[in-house]
Amino acid sequence: MPSALPATLAAYRRLSALAAPLAAPLIARRLKQGKEDPERLGERRGVASVERPPGPLIWIHGASVGE
């Protein structure tokens, strides 16, 4: 029997599903304001605009608080 998801992951999934319908109008507004690149909209939905080359993938993520 599969184990249950941790409560935080289950809550994250539920909240993400509830918030998803808000993404389209938000991105449309940002497009109108010139804050989004129309050619890269797919990337906002997790669809890459460039095919990944073969081989191992190393993912590096950086975050900034804007200081």
Q: What is the pLDDT of residue 32?
A: 96
Q: What's the rounded Cα separation, in Å, for the pair 12 and 17? A: 9
Q: Is 65 helix (H, G, I), strand (E, B) or coil?
A: coil
Q: What's the rounded Cα separation, in Å, for the pair 63 and 42? A: 21
Residues with catalytic roles: 67
Which among 40, 60, 57, 59 has a CA at the least distance from the CA of 49?
A: 40
Is the model's pLDDT at 1 over the cut of 70?
A: no
Q: What is the pLDDT of residue 66?
A: 78
Q: What is the pTM of this model?
A: 0.55
